[in-house]
């Protein structure tokens, strides 16, 4: 024994009899046990097991081949450079956009807000597709209008695409942060004699630093995991996600693919952890409960003009992007023959099964995600039996895993062995459910935080079992969280590509995967027509949900 | 409270979706394989997406057998069938150079089937063991975008041989596919080996890497990219160049001396879920009706004498071809791909 007594661990002392109470509840409520076991089983089988397999699959030979290959180091370096550049630019653009949106004296905000959300509800590679159509070697803007010969394939093109594709993520995080900043601080700065720039530099920006870091880390995770855009526009600039994909489809070298996945997971996991740490610290609190009724300091006209101009340029670019997809779908041969045609849409009808699959699977996955997420949130948070921390972690873990990695992990795990379900529609739907679980679970947890435990306890005291309490008391109160989880999971699932591309089979082909295949073969007309179809279905579904929920549930503020 | 009425709506929506999914799913391939009555024939195809869709639609109408397909490049199909060896989910491999089919046959993954339709076929066009049957032929060619070439190369003559492609002035001017995923590109790499011998071929391929701007997954994509003017040069099979020419792209086809060629084949996956339907499909695919439809859609030269050679296509007997050893190409596929991965890697 050492002389120094260890510091007592900082745990709350358990109230006396707590363990025995839990034990008694177990006996009285086998339902709780059953549901908890079910939740735990799902999380272990579909989250933990595949993740562990990625680490177990490669042997020493794979690792030495990876570490000894100069090319792989190039790929890793490329990935790092891409992540750094795109994250910084997307976060910076997102900050400017969010700052403009948080100023009350900038006109047309509802429109700009919708523009900034569009990339989040459309397939992630649409921007890459339109970049080629608009700014490629034979792009409409660069070649036809400006007579330029731009080579978009490679890092510059990828950088531009990812900046436009992921700045909305930063906008989402930062509008919240900037809106919470108290105007009183700005006024204080002004009373001390600062101009707009002084206030911005000494008040607004420093207060936004934690938000910026958090947004940057989130954007970084998206960029690192991006698969569709690099596949389309990176050309010979190879990045990890695409390289892992080639290891699978080209030679089915799952060991090497797993090594690349681990290489991809390390930085993503780090970003994820850091981001959560930032979010939990929140040391720069400006919401004190004493809400200020002040209006923000007016923005000087030149700044207002500049910001408005910026919003117009970015939104105009967004509009152009989407317009080019629809134009591409209606053009006979892009770049050569600009005649209008419906022949590509006729082809879309031939592949209508893919669109139906995408929609159907996304609806089922959306519902499964919402049910499971809310159930898991309630039982993990309010009826913890054992391993609450571990289950909580597993429920949010898929959010930290790049799509490519989950896809390969599932291929390794469910291709053979006790649960061989590859080649079925089931695995695709399960994948969509698990991928969207973290957001659904979090919205369930935050809804629970607003519901006092006393309600729950009164129901119990009146003799209601866990399931009944959940159904009659909690579920009605968590309905908003439920619907939000459903809509989010639907939108994400219908557009998802990076993970499901490893799991689709002829019977469960998805529109997003087909679009990618068509685009990769240079069938721009067919690819854009199918992409247009997919976007129309998504937007129609969003409109329908809005109608059904009476516009109460806001997804991405849309 | 109007809110409480929303949930039933969603529930109804969900129930409908589940029912529809169940209805769809019942026709899908079941795990476990084996012969199923009325199951959908699952086709892994290396032909173009829309060719596949139209061919299979015609087969469905003719036979009453329902089909499903995924479009993958030939090398990707090889990887997929190999990966599924223990539990095949595909029935038919449609299209792609025969060396890819032969590689699968060597691994015992194809079901030999002596199709009566192939009785009077030339022996060069099918595997002696009937693991695969050819239905079209094509030679590797260089696609030159004449407009872009004029713009960029200022009066330089168009390259006519493989070796001229090593010219440093052509740095980053050409697109070609990756040999691991694309059958076309593997055919190209094998062609260099047959033309130069192994050691010198790797020298060539390493230098040639400088000429390549980037490697695509699909073998036909480079022709379309050159067609769209993204690059002045591409390597692809002649028919894949003919198609964009027909679509209006300013391309010219050059068949270099000692070029490689493919016998595009169809084969049956051993142990697939619908082997009987697969045999019917192979019979249909090798017949005249499908041969004509396929050639109309794709501009590929059919091996059938009763299907006319499409306009602009060059029959193989008019070309100077390399001595292409399908057996060697199939046997050494893994070795060659590994060597390529180490030296070039895309």
Which of A252, A522, A523 shows the shortest C-beta gap to B82?
Answer: A252
CA pair distance A499, B47, nearest whole angstrom: 25
Which residues of chain B make contact with A424, given a CB cutoff of 8 A? 25, 28-29, 31
- Both B99 and B194 in a single domain? no
Which residues of chain B make contact with A518, given a CB cutoff of 8 A? 49
ipTM exceeds 0.85: no
Question: Looking at residue B48, what DSSP letter applies?
Answer: -
Compute the nearest-CA separation of B70 from chain A (Å). 5
Q: What angle do CA B18, B19, B22 make, to 5 degrees?
A: 85
Range of the domain at B95: 34-137+262-318
pLDDT in tens, A9-49: 444 444 545 556 666 666 667 788 888 899 999 999 999 99
Which of A236, A364, A423 shows the shortest C-beta gap to B18?
Answer: A364
Task: Give, for all 346 residues of chain B, the pLDDT tens digit.
Answer: 344 444 445 445 455 555 444 444 433 333 333 444 558 899 999 998 888 989 999 999 999 999 988 888 898 899 889 888 888 889 999 999 999 999 999 999 999 999 999 888 888 899 999 999 999 999 999 999 998 899 888 888 999 999 999 999 999 899 999 998 899 999 999 999 999 999 999 999 999 999 998 888 888 889 988 988 888 999 999 999 998 898 888 999 999 999 999 999 999 999 999 999 999 999 999 999 999 999 999 989 999 989 999 888 888 888 899 999 999 999 999 899 988 988 887 5
**Exposed/middle/buried for residue A438 (C-beta within 10 Å: 0-12, 13-18, 19+):** buried
What integer is the mean pLDDT of A471-492? 87
**Best residue of A150, A505, A525 to probe chain B, by most B CBs closer than 10 Å:** A505
Q: CB distance B2–A550 less than 8 Å? A: yes
**Quick one: how far is CA A77 from the chain centroid?**
24
Compute the nearest-CA separation of A353 from chain B (Å). 10
**Exposed/middle/buried for residue A451 (C-beta within 10 Å: 0-12, 13-18, 19+):** middle
Q: Number of folded domains in chain B?
A: 2
Whether the CB of A452 is below 8 Å from some CB of chain B: the reply is no
Q: Which residue has the tokens 């660069």?
A: A142
Compute the nearest-CA separation of B162 from chain A (Å). 22
What does the block give as tokens for B234?
A: 């591409």
- Both B145 and B288 in a single domain? no
Q: For residues A180 and A286, is the Cβ–Cβ distance under 8 A?
A: yes
Task: List Cα–Cα distances, A455 to A303, A448, A516, in angstroms.
Answer: 50, 11, 50
Whether the CB of A450 is below 8 Å from some CB of chain B: the reply is no
Name every residue whose Cβ is closer than 8 Å to that of residue A139 and which is 6 or more positions away in sequence. A132, A133, A150, A152, A335
Which of B31, B70, B227 shows the shortest C-beta gap to A420?
Answer: B31
Residue A234: per-residue pLDDT? 85
- Both B146 and B244 in a single domain? yes
pLDDT in tens, A493-503: 999 998 998 88
Closest CA to B236 of B309, B172, B183: B183
Q: What angle do CA A128, A129, A130 make, to 5 degrees?
A: 95
Which of A71, A482, A506 shows the shortest C-beta gap to B43?
Answer: A506
Question: Looking at residue A473, what DSSP letter applies?
Answer: I
Q: CB distance A550–B24 less than 8 Å? A: no
Whether the CB of A235 is below 8 Å from some CB of chain B: the reply is yes
Instruction: Determine how β-strand B212-216 pairs with β-strand B233-237.
Output: unpaired
- Both B107 and B155 in a single domain? no
CA pair distance B80, B75, nearest whole angstrom: 9
Q: CB distance B42–A71 less than 8 Å? A: no
Residue A34: per-residue pLDDT? 87
CA pair distance A237, A275, nearest whole angstrom: 28
Lowest mean per-residue pLDDT among A213-227, A383-397, B103-117, B266-280: A383-397
**Exposed/middle/buried for residue B127 (C-beta within 10 Å: 0-12, 13-18, 19+):** buried
Q: How many C-beta atoms lie closer than 10 Å to residue B82's C-beta?
A: 14
Kindly compute the dihedral angle of the four CA atoms of residues A255, A257, A262, A264, in this order, to the nearest 10 degrees. Answer: 170
Which residues of chain B make contact with A155, given a CB cutoff of 8 A? none
Tell which A residues from 56 to 75 touch B, by Cβ distance under 8 Å.
69, 71
- Both B189 and B276 in a single domain? no
Which residues of chain B make contact with A509, given a CB cutoff of 8 A? 68, 70
Compute the nearest-CA separation of B48 from chain A (Å). 8
CA pair distance A107, A101, nearest whole angstrom: 9
Q: For residues A119 and A318, is the Cβ–Cβ distance under 8 A?
A: yes
CA pair distance A230, A217, nearest whole angstrom: 20
What does the block give as tokens for B145?
A: 């975008």
Instruction: Specify the DSSP element, H or E, that contains B43.
Output: strand B41-45
CA pair distance A120, A148, nearest whole angstrom: 31
Among all residues of chain A, which has the CA nearest to that of B2?
A: A550
Q: CB distance B57–A350 less than 8 Å? A: yes
Whether the CB of A372 is below 8 Å from some CB of chain B: the reply is no
Q: Give the max Cα distance, chain B.
A: 82
Residue B67 is assigned to a structural domain of this protein: yes
pLDDT in tens, A533-553: 999 999 999 888 888 877 666
Q: How long is chain B? A: 346
CA pair distance A530, A476, nearest whole angstrom: 39
Q: What CATH class does A58-284+300-318 carry?
A: mainly alpha
Task: List Cα–Cα distances, B213 to A15, B208, B308, B345, in angstroms.
Answer: 69, 10, 37, 13
- Both B333 and B250 in a single domain? yes
**Exposed/middle/buried for residue A350 (C-beta within 10 Å: 0-12, 13-18, 19+):** middle
Q: Determine if residue B48 is labeled as part of a ligand binding site.
A: yes
CA pair distance B339, B132, nearest whole angstrom: 27
Residue B12 is assigned to a structural domain of this protein: no
CA pair distance A375, A269, nearest whole angstrom: 26
Question: Looking at residue B248, what DSSP letter applies?
Answer: T
Residue B9 is assigned to a structural domain of this protein: no
Among all residues of chain B, which has the CA nearest to that of A151?
A: B230
What integer is the mean pLDDT of A204-230? 89
Closest CA to A517 of B41, B220, B25, B293: B220
Which residues of chain B make contact with A507, given a CB cutoff of 8 A? 27-29, 40, 42, 68
- Both B71 and B111 in a single domain? yes
The number of C-alpha atoms within 13 Å of A61 and in the hemisphere containing its C-beta is: 3
Residue B10 is assigned to a structural domain of this protein: no
What does the block give as tokens for A369?
A: 């995600």
What integer is the mean pLDDT of A295-316? 88
pLDDT in tens, A94-117: 999 999 988 888 888 888 888 888
What does the block give as tokens for A460?
A: 């119990």
Q: For residues B288 and B174, is the Cβ–Cβ distance under 8 A?
A: no
- Both B193 and B334 in a single domain? yes
Residue B29 is assigned to a structural domain of this protein: no
Residue B242 is assigned to a structural domain of this protein: yes
**Quick one: how far is CA B268 from the chain centroid?**
16
Task: Say whether pLDDT at A347 is over 80.
Answer: yes
Compute the nearest-CA separation of B120 from chain A (Å). 33
CA pair distance A25, B306, nearest whole angstrom: 81
pLDDT above 90 coverage of chain A, percent: 32
CA pair distance A332, B247, nearest whole angstrom: 9
pLDDT in tens, B36-70: 455 889 999 999 888 898 999 999 999 999 998 88
Q: For residues B81 and B272, is the Cβ–Cβ distance under 8 A?
A: no
Name every residue whose Cβ is closer than 8 Å to that of residue A107 and which is 6 or more positions away in sequence. A308
Task: Say whether pLDDT at A554 is over 80.
Answer: no
Alpha helices in A59-199 (DSSP H): 60-67, 70-102, 109-117, 126-135, 155-180, 183-191, 196-199
What does the block give as tokens for B283?
A: 């019979």
Q: What region, left, alpha or beta, does residue A359 occupy, with left being phi > 0 and alpha being psi -120 to 50 degrees? A: alpha
Q: Bigger pLDDT: B170 or A347? A: B170
Question: What mean pLDDT is reported for chain A?
Answer: 84
- Both B128 and B246 in a single domain? no
- Both B186 and B231 in a single domain? yes
- Both B132 and B266 in a single domain? yes
Which residues of chain B make contact with A504, given a CB cutoff of 8 A? 70
Task: List Cα–Cα distances, B277 to A535, B35, B65, B206, B265, in angstroms.
Answer: 36, 10, 7, 45, 17
Question: Looking at residue B1, what DSSP letter applies?
Answer: -
Confidence band for A67, pLDDT divided at 50, 70 and 90: confident
Q: For residues A447 and A508, is the Cβ–Cβ distance under 8 A?
A: no
Which residues of chain A make contact with B216, given a CB cutoff of 8 A? 520
Q: For residues A241 and A226, is the Cβ–Cβ distance under 8 A?
A: yes
Task: Say whether pLDDT at A430 is over 90.
Answer: yes
Q: CB distance B213–A235 less than 8 Å? A: yes
The enclosing domain of B93 has a CATH number of: 3.40.190.10
CA pair distance A381, A466, nearest whole angstrom: 13
Which residues of chain B make contact with A429, given a CB cutoff of 8 A? 21
Question: Looking at residue A418, what DSSP letter applies?
Answer: T
Q: For residues B279 and B113, is the Cβ–Cβ distance under 8 A?
A: yes
SS3 B70: strand
Which residues of chain A make contact with B17, given a CB cutoff of 8 A? 360, 363-364, 367
Instruction: Determine how β-strand B301-302 pairs with β-strand A337-340.
Output: unpaired
Residue B101 is assigned to a structural domain of this protein: yes
- Both B339 and B193 in a single domain? yes
Per-residue burial over A19-42, b if 16 or more Cβ lie within 10 Å, else e, is eeeeeebeeebeebeebbeebbeb
What integer is the mean pLDDT of A440-466? 84
Closest CA to B317 of B137, B59, B126: B137
What integer is the mean pLDDT of A497-526? 86
């Amino acid at each position: 024994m050492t002389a120094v007594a260890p510091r007592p661990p900082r745990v709350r002392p358990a109230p006396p009899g707590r363990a025995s109470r839990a034990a008694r509840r177990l006996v009285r409520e086998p339902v709780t046990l059953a549901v908890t076991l079910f939740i735990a089983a799902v999380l272990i089988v579909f989250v933990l097991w595949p993740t562990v397999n990625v680490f177990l699959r490669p042997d020493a030979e794979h690792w030495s081949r990876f570490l000894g290959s100069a090319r792989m180091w190039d790929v890793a370096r490329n990935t790092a450079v891409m992540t750094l550049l795109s994250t910084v630019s997307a976060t910076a653009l997102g900050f400017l956009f969010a700052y403009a949106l948080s100023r009350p004296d900038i006109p047309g905000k509802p429109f700009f807000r919708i523009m900034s959300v569009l990339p989040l509800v459309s397939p992630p590679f649409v921007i890459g597709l339109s970049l080629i159509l608009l700014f490629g070697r034979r792009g409409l803007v660069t070649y036809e209008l400006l007579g330029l010969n731009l080579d978009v394939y490679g890092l510059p093109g990828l950088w531009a695409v990812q900046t436009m594709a992921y700045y909305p993520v930063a906008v989402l995080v930062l509008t919240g942060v900037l809106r919470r900043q108290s105007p009183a601080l700005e006024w204080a700065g002004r009373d001390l004699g600062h101009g707009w720039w002084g206030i911005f530099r000494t008040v607004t920006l420093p207060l936004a630093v934690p938000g910026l870091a958090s947004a940057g880390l989130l954007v970084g995770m998206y960029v690192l995991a991006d698969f569709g855009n690099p596949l389309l526009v990176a050309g010979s600039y190879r990045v990890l996600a695409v390289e892992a994909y080639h290891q699978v489809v080209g030679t089915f070298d799952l060991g090497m693919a797993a090594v690349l996945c681990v290489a991809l997971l390390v930085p993503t996991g780090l970003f994820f952890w850091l981001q959560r740490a930032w979010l939990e610290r929140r040391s720069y609190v400006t919401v004190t409960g004493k809400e200020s009724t002040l209006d923000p300091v007016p923005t000087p006209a030149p700044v207002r003009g500049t910001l408005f101009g910026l919003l117009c340029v970015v939104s105009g670019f967004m509009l152009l992007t989407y317009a080019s997809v629809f134009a591409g779908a209606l053009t006979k041969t892009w770049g050569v023959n600009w005649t209008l045609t419906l022949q590509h849409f006729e082809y879309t009808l031939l592949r209508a099964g893919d669109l139906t699959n995408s929609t159907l699977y996304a609806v089922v996955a959306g519902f499964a995600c919402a049910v499971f997420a809310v159930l898991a949130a309630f039982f993990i948070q309010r009826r913890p039996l054992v391993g609450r921390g571990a289950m909580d972690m597993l429920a949010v873990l898929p959010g930290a895993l790049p799509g490519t990695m989950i896809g390969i992990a599932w291929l390794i795990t469910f291709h053979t062995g006790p649960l061989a379900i590859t080649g079925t529609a089931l695995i695709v739907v399960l994948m969509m459910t698990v991928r969207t679980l973290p957001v659904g679970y979090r919205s369930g947890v935050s809804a629970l935080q607003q519901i006092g435990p006393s309600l729950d306890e009164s129901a119990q005291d009146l003799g209601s079992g866990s399931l009944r309490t959940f159904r009659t008391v909690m579920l009605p109160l968590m309905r908003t969280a439920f619907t939000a989880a459903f809509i989010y999971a639907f939108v994400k699932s219908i557009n998802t590509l990076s993970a499901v591309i490893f799991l689709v089979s002829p019977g469960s082909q998805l529109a997003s995967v087909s679009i990618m295949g068509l685009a990769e073969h240079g069938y721009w007309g067919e690819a854009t027509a199918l992409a247009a179809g997919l976007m129309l279905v998504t937007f129609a579904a969003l409109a329908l949900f809005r109608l059904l929920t009476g516009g109460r549930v806001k997804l991405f503020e849309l | 409270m109007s809110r409480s009425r929303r949930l039933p709506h969603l529930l109804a929506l969900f129930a409908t979706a589940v029912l529809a999914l169940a209805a769809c799913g019942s026709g899908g391939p079941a795990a476990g394989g084996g012969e199923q009555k009325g199951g959908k024939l699952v086709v892994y195809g290396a032909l173009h997406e829309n060719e596949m869709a139209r061919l299979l639609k015609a087969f469905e109408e003719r036979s009453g057998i329902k089909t499903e397909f995924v479009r993958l490049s030939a090398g990707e199909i090889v990887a997929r069938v190999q990966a599924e060896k223990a539990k095949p989910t595909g029935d038919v491999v449609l299209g792609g150079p025969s060396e890819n089919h032969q590689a699968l046959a060597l691994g015992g993954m194809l079901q030999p089937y002596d199709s009566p339709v192939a009785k009077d076929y030339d022996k060069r066009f099918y595997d002696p063991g009937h693991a695969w049957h050819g239905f079209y032929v094509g030679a590797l060619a260089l696609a030159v975008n004449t407009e872009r070439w004029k713009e960029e190369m200022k009066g330089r003559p168009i390259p006519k041989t493989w070796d001229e492609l090593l010219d440093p002035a052509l740095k980053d001017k050409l697109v070609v596919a990756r040999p691991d995923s694309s059958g076309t590109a593997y055919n190209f790499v094998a062609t260099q080996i047959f033309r130069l011998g192994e050691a010198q071929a790797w020298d060539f391929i390493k230098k040639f890497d400088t000429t390549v701007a980037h490697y695509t997954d699909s073998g036909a994509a480079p022709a379309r990219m050159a067609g769209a003017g993204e690059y002045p040069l591409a390597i692809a099979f002649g028919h894949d160049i003919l198609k964009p020419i027909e679509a209006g792209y300013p391309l010219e086809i050059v068949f270099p001396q000692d070029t490689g060629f493919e016998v595009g084949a169809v084969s049956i996956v051993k142990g697939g879920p619908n082997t009987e339907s697969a045999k019917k499909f192979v019979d249909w695919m090798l017949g005249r009706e499908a041969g004509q439809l396929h050639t109309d859609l794709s501009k590929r030269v059919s091996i059938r004498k009763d299907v006319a050679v499409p306009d602009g296509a060059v029959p193989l007997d008019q070309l100077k071809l390399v001595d292409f050893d399908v057996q060697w190409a199939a046997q050494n596929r893994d070795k060659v791909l590994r060597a390529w991965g180490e030296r070039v890697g895309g």
